[in-house]
Each structure stands twice: as structure tokens, then as C-alpha cells.
């Protein structure tokens, strides 16, 4: 067991009056979504993102749903500011302090090849170049025992070396620091005295676990985004007025403000996590044992298997670098409504990952000229001039047709055929992503309903069902703002972890449980008295690198073997080892309010009221266009269902059924 506890301290959640309005805000690459929650229902506002300064769209959206400027608000924000900073390389100037001789460990990595067939594979580049790494003459061994003591003179030499590099952020990672974090803390205290305005991340506080490369990488990434995310959230906090701004952690549950300030990497995937949280609620309401969350927005598509609530893993990566912090296992592909279609060097039609984003956006938005997935839908009549935001965001149909037509000439295809090809390639790309979270994990896609959301999710749900054999799809209420709805529903959460290295026996299980109960008390003390708690362990076969996170139970070995068989297709008689214990306390999420209960008509062929028709601009059969609020009972395709935040395509051979918690899309049964 560890010699010194290494759990970060954070104040309990700041309390607001019970009258504070809960508002979820999700900033995407194309749109910013705002949801105001109340037990009686929700209010949704959607507006274009402002990539140059995302806070402008956030504040405008907040003002739109606020009842008065001084109303007290509790804003839960899902932001991609930190994620985008890593992906684009626009990070704070970070200095990494580590043991002398280990300065290049972050660059050496694990010698893994993610692309087996690349003749000249490109290795991920760590955010800290070699000349910004400082070695410290000290060392501890496994278990935390001193091998080379850290002296005061060495601390002062290290501080002077760091100061000369003029850092904007500092990461400290020492060997075996989870077993004995005092050396990291001593260096951090000395640096904080000299550089009080520079944020410092200690690896053992951020991620108390074995595996130096992964822990060092997490510390560096956290340090590098702290000034950026901190500056962004501080500006927002100062301007929202009466209330508070909080972030959703990547593993669901709201981060306390103090923890979010120190460890913003724990909210790196806060936006996608909001959609996963809301998907879990829909699955629960519709009595699904599992579901595939499918969020197709303007820039990318995120997929995640939601099973037994929501799974959490610690094996994440970003820009090729490990980020082993707890998060929902979201798999992202560069395929969204704004993904650009082009002809590659071999003359083949390709879609994405380049995106037109919010500015200039797809050609149909009036500023861009490149053909995109959204333009293909416009060409085929799935989206009309007044579809988006109920006409508040006008669509330039002629511009979309011209953009796809130009691409078609290069392919010697008619405009309609080009548009269908764009959508087919987009479907194939996203189908691959869904197979990665189902079939590649020994889960039959035929047993997994699709929960399709985002502005474009409903447009591709039927195509993915046909391609993968999915049993049905759910288009939840307010799909274009579904992730923001998840943010508005989120409860608070606290996690406490401690590194161990224990072979599992009956006696060691009792010792692990004692440690877990101690961490559990600490976690619960930092949140509401009504919080639910659980204790997990991170276990592996001895000699393995990756771990599985499982509840701490007396039958841990049997559970681990069953889960290992399920995930990887085998289990062995090798000894089972626990390397970390985690306790989590969380308050339950707010209830998703039911929406208007559908009335079942006498016949499935009965049509809703206010039926309109739209003919594709390039010719073809007219499509019935129906307002979602008018969908009652069962509707047989073909049809297009429109609502302010999204569009759903019901092709021929599919039926749509209305429920209070979503539209259920399924293949029509044969009438013969």
C-alpha cells in the first residue's frame, strides 16, 4: 500500500439558492446550444458558434434564455476549448520537471505502432520540446523508498532552471510519485513562491497511478491547457453575472469549480459526455438494456456504447498522446454536416475529415463554396430553405446545388448521384465507428438500438440501421441540443483515487475494501449528503499494461475474468492484480421531462396535420415534410420530419412511432 495518501483536496460544491436556473451550454464547431431546464420542461436556444472567441456565442445564448439580466443561474458548460487547443497545438508554453535521466521518457513513449502498415509512421509529438524539460537529481524506488534524496540545494537549482525558461505552465512528474508524492509537492511549493501566477500540475495529484509515461503525459496536457481553459472560464464567470459557471467532467458529473481550475483535463471531453449522460436517461426511460449514442454535429460524429448506465474507461488518447483520466469511451470520426467532400489524388470521392465549420460553413450557409454533407442533403430535398431553426437560419439552396454540381463534373456524375455518393461515404465512415464500439467489443449490433442526435443524427439514422442491422433508432426530444440537455440534467460528482499494487487474495480484498471505504468517506464529505457512492478497482492480469475498471466485490476475480472474456475474447489463470482504488460520490441527475404524449391513430397510414411536400431542387419525387410536433402515432415513410434543431429522414420501408421520450424509427414489417 502507499506510504502517503495522494488525493487532491477540493472544497465542497459552491451552493446556490434553490431558485437558481439550471442552464446547460454546449459549444460545438458549428453551433452553440443552450438548454434551460425546469421540472415542467425545457427551453432551447441555438445559435452559430463564434470560433474566434467561443465565449461570445455562450454569453449571447445565455442572455436569450435568461428571464432577466440579474437572474441567478447555475450554468453547466461543455466546452471544447481545451480539446481544440491540443488538437491545433495552440498550447501554453509548458516546462516539464522530471527525474534527471528521464527527460526524454515522454518522447520515447511505449514504442507502440498504431498503424502497422505505415512504412514511415509518424510519432505523436509531445507538447513539451526537449529544451523545455528540466531534470532533477533525485529518485525514489517502487513503494516510495528514497534512493537519491531531494535536497534543498537541488530544489533551488531546479527553480532557477525553470524560471529561465519563462513558463506559462509547469508540469511535475517524478518516478513512483503516487507512492510518495512529497518530492513533487516540495518542488511545486518552491516554484509557486517564485512564479505565483503560473499554474503547476503535479502528476501524482492529477492521476495517482502507476505507468510513468501515461501519468507524465496527462500532467503535461493538463498543464498546457490550464491557462487557456482557465482564462476562458474566468472571462465567462466575470460576465455571466449573478450565478456560477461549472464544467462537466469527462466521466460525467459536474466538477467542483476549484477542481476544474486545477485539473481542466478532467473535463477535456465534457461536450460529448453531456450527450452520453442524456442517452443513458433515454435508454432508462425506454427500458433499453443498452444503446449506441450517436451524435452527428457540424464537424464530427461521436459514438459511445451506453451499457448498464454508462461505462467509464481510463485508456483515452488525444492527438496520439495518452490521456488516462476517467472518461466515457467516446469514439470520434471527422464526419459531420460540415465535412467537405472532395476528389482525392486517385480520383475517388472522399468526405472529411476537413470541415467547413461555422465560418465559412457549408455552401448552403451563404459564405462557403466547398460541397459538404449538409449541401448533399439540400440537393436531395432533405433540407429546405427554411428548415434550420424554423427559418431563422436561411439556407441558400442554389449555392448548395452549384457546389455539388461542380464536384459532380469532376467525377462525371449527375448532381443527384454525387449527393447520394457523399451521403453513402459519410454513412460508411460512421458505420465503421459504430462497429468499433460494438462488434469489435463482441457486442452484436443487432442488439443495440441507436440513439441519434445532433443536428444531423436523424438524417443518417436509417442509413446506419440498414448498413449495420441495428434493431431500431431513437431520435430523442430536441436532438440538435441533446448534449446541452445532458449538461442541464447532470448531477455533481467527486472522485478520490489511490495507487496500489496488490495481488488479489481473500485477505487483500479486505484490505482493499478498507482503503476504498476511507476514500469513499472523503468523496462523500466533498459533495451533498444525499450522494450515492461506489468503490471501483482498476485490475489487470499480472504483466498486462491496460486495466479494467470494475466494482470492488468479493467475486472480483470471477467478474474480471468474465469481463476480460467479453472484451478481449479470452481469460487466463494468471494472478489478478489491482493497481488503483477509486471511490466516487455523485448526486443523481435531474429527471428528463416527458414531452407531449403521442396519440395513436387508427391506421399506421394516417397522416399528421399540416402536411407539406418538397421537391428536390435537382428533380425527383416529392417528399412529405412534417413538423415533429404533428407526428402522432405511427408514420410510414418516405417522409422528412422537421423541428427547429434537427431533421429526421424516414426513407421508404421505414416506420416512425412517437413516444414521450423520442421518435422510434424501425424497418417496416412486410404487409404480405
Average pLDDT of the residues in 326-343: 90
Q: Which of 11-25, 83-97, 104-118, 395-409 has the lowest mean pLDDT?
A: 11-25
Average pLDDT of the residues in 380-388: 90
CA angle 371, 642, 403 (to 5 degrees): 10
pLDDT band at 426 (very low <50, low <70, confident <90, very high): very high
For residue 568, what pLDDT is reported?
82
Q: What is the rounded average pLDDT for all residues in the chain? A: 88
Q: Which of 182-191, 303-312, 448-457 has the lowest mean pLDDT?
A: 303-312
pLDDT tens digits, 291-313: 999 999 888 899 999 987 566 77
Contacts of 595 (CB under 8 A, 6+ apart): 41, 477, 660, 661
CA angle 286, 436, 651 (to 5 degrees): 55
pLDDT tens digits, 388-414: 777 778 899 999 999 999 999 999 999
Nearest to 92 by CA among 223, 180, 2: 223
pLDDT at 186 exceeding the cut of 80: yes
3-state SS of 447-505? HCCEEEECCCHHHHHHHHHHHHCCCCEEECCCHHHHHHHHHHHCCEEEEEEEEEEEECC
CATH number of 493-586: 3.30.1490
d(CA 281, CA 592): 7
C-alpha cell at 402: 452549384
3-state SS of 237-280? HHHHCCEEEEEECCCCCECCHHHHHHCHHHHCCHHHHHHHHHHH
* Identity of the highest mean pLDDT range in 28-42, 88-102, 582-596, 597-611: 88-102
For residue 93, what pLDDT is reported?
97
pLDDT tens digits, 520-538: 999 998 888 888 999 999 9
d(CA 89, CA 554): 46
d(CA 303, CA 627): 27
> Percent of the chain at pLDDT above 90?
60
The residue to which cell 467478474 is assigned:
559
For residue 53, what pLDDT is reported?
87
pLDDT tens digits, 136-173: 999 999 888 999 999 999 999 999 999 999 999 999 99
Q: Which of 114-123, 181-190, 310-319, 339-348 has the lowest mean pLDDT?
A: 310-319
State whether residue 136 is helix, strand or coil: strand
* Contact assessment for residue 601 and residue 630, using Cβ atoms and an 8 Å cutoff: no
pLDDT band at 606 (very low <50, low <70, confident <90, very high): very low
CATH number of 21-85+230-269: 3.30.420.40
Q: Write down the H helix ranges in 543-593.
A: 556-568
Left if phi > 0, otherwise alpha if psi is -120 to 50, otherwise beta: which for 131?
alpha
| CATH 3.30.1490 boundaries in the chain | 493-586
pLDDT band at 256 (very low <50, low <70, confident <90, very high): confident
pLDDT at 10 exceeding the cut of 60: no
pLDDT at 656 exceeding the cut of 80: yes
DSSP-derived secondary structure for 15-50: P--TTPEEEEEEE-SSEEEEEEEETTEEEEEEEE--
| CATH 3.30.420.40 boundaries in the chain | 21-85+230-269
Instruction: Provide the residue count of the chain.
Output: 672
pLDDT at 205 exceeding the cut of 70: yes
For residue 594, what pLDDT is reported?
65
State whether residue 664 is helix, strand or coil: strand
Q: Provide the Cα torsion 106, 109, 113, 119; round to 10°.
A: 60
pLDDT band at 7 (very low <50, low <70, confident <90, very high): very low
pLDDT band at 655 (very low <50, low <70, confident <90, very high): very high
pLDDT at 115 exceeding the cut of 50: yes
d(CA 328, CA 277): 9
Amino acid at each position: 500500500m502507499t506510504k502517503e495518501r495522494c488525493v487532491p483536496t477540493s472544497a465542497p460544491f459552491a451552493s446556490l439558492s434553490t431558485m437558481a436556473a439550471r442552464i446547460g451550454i454546449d459549444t460545438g464547431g458549428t453551433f452553440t446550444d443552450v438548454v434551460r431546464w425546469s421540472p415542467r420542461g425545457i427551453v432551447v436556444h441555438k445559435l452559430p458558434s463564434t470560433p474566434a472567441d467561443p465565449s461570445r456565442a455562450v454569453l449571447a445564448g445565455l442572455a436569450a434564455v435568461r428571464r432577466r439580466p440579474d437572474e441567478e443561474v447555475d450554468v453547466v458548460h461543455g466546452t471544447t476549448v481545451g480539446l481544440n487547443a491540443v488538437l491545433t497545438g495552440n498550447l501554453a508554453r509548458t516546462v516539464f520537471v522530471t527525474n534527471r535521466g528521464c527527460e526524454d521518457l515522454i518522447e520515447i513513449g511505449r514504442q507502440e505502432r498504431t498503424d502497422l502498415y505505415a512504412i514511415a509512421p509518424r510519432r505523436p509529438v509531445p507538447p513539451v520540446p526537449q529544451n523545455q524539460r528540466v531534470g532533477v537529481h533525485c529518485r525514489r524506488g517502487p513503494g516510495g523508498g528514497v534512493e537519491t534524496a531531494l535536497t534543498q540545494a537541488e530544489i533551488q537549482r531546479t527553480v532557477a532552471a525553470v524560471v529561465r525558461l519563462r513558463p506559462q505552465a509547469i508540469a511535475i512528474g517524478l518516478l513512483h510519485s503516487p507512492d510518495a508524492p512529497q518530492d513533487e509537492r516540495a518542488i511545486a511549493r518552491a516554484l509557486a513562491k517564485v512564479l505565483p501566477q503560473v499554474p503547476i500540475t503535479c502528476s501524482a495529484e492529477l492521476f495517482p497511478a502507476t505507468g510513468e509515461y501515461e501519468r507524465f503525459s496527462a500532467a503535461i496536457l493538463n498543464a498546457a491547457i490550464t491557462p487557456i481553459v482557465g482564462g476562458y472560464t474566468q472571462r465567462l464567470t466575470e460576465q455571466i453575472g449573478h450565478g456560477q459557471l461549472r464544467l462537466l467532467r469527462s466521466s460525467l458529473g459536474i466538477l467542483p469549480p476549484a477542481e476544474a481550475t486545477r485539473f481542466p483535463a478532467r473535463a477535456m471531453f465534457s461536450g460529448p459526455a453531456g450527450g452520453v449522460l442524456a442517452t443513458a436517461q433515454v435508454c432508462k426511460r425506454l427500458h433499453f438494456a443498452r444503446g449506441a449514442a450517436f451524435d452527428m454535429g457540424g464537424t464530427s460524429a461521436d459514438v459511445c456504447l451506453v451499457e448498464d448506465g454508462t461505462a467509464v474507461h481510463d485508456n483515452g488518447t488525444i492527438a496520439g498522446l495518452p490521456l488516462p483520466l476517467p472518461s466515457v469511451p467516446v469514439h470520434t470520426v471527422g464526419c459531420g454536416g460540415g465535412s467537405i467532400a472532395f476528389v482525392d489524388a486517385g480520383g475517388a470521392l472522399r468526405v472529411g475529415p476537413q470541415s467547413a465549420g461555422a465560418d465559412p460553413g457549408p455552401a448552403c450557409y451563404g459564405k462557403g463554396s466547398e460541397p459538404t454533407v449538409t449541401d448533399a442533403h439540400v440537393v436531395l430535398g432533405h433540407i429546405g430553405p427554411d428548415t434550420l431553426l424554423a427559418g431563422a437560419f436561411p439556407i441558400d439552396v442554389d449555392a448548395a446545388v452549384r457546389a455539388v454540381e461542380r464536384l459532380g463534373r469532376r467525377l462525371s456524375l449527375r448532381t443527384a448521384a454525387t449527393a447520394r455518393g457523399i451521403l453513402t461515404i459519410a454513412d460508411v465512415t460512421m458505420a465503421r465507428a459504430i462497429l468499433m464500439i460494438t462488434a469489435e467489443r463482441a457486442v452484436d449490433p443487432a442488439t443495440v438500438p441507436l440513439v441519434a442526435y445532433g443536428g444531423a443524427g436523424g438524417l443518417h439514422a436509417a442509413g446506419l440501421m440498414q448498413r449495420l442491422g441495428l434493431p431500431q433508432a431513437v431520435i430523442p426530444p430536441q436532438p440538435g441540443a441533446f448534449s446541452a440537455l445532458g449538461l442541464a440534467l447532470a448531477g455533481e460528482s467527486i472522485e478520490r483515487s489511490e495507487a496500489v499494487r496488490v495481488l488479489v487474495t481473500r485477505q487483500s480484498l479486505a484490505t482493499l475494501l478498507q482503503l476504498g471505504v476511507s476514500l469513499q468517506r472523503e468523496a462523500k464529505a466533498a459533495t451533498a449528503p444525499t450522494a450515492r457512492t461506489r468503490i471501483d478497482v482498476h485490475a489487470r492480469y499480472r504483466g498486462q499494461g491496460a486495466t479494467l475498471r470494475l466494482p470492488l466485490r468479493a467475486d472480483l476475480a470471477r467478474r474480471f475474468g468474465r469481463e476480460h472474456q467479453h472484451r478481449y475474447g479470452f481469460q487466463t489463470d494468471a494472478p489478478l492484480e489491482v493497481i488503483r482504488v477509486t471511490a466516487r460520490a455523485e448526486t443523481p441527475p435531474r429527471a428528463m421531462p416527458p414531452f407531449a404524449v403521442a396519440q395513436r391513430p387508427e391506421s399506421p397510414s394516417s397522416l399528421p396535420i399540416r402536411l407539406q411536400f418538397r421537391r428536390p431542387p435537382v428533380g425527383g419525387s416529392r417528399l412529405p415534410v412534417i413538423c415533429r410536433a404533428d407526428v402522432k402515432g405511427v408514420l410510414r415513410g418516405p417522409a422528412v420530419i422537421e423541428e427547429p434543431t434537427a431533421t429526421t429522414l424516414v426513407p421508404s420501408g421505414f416506420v416512425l412511432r412517437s413516444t414521450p421520450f423520442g421518435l422510434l424509427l424501425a424497418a417496416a414489417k412486410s404487409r404480405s
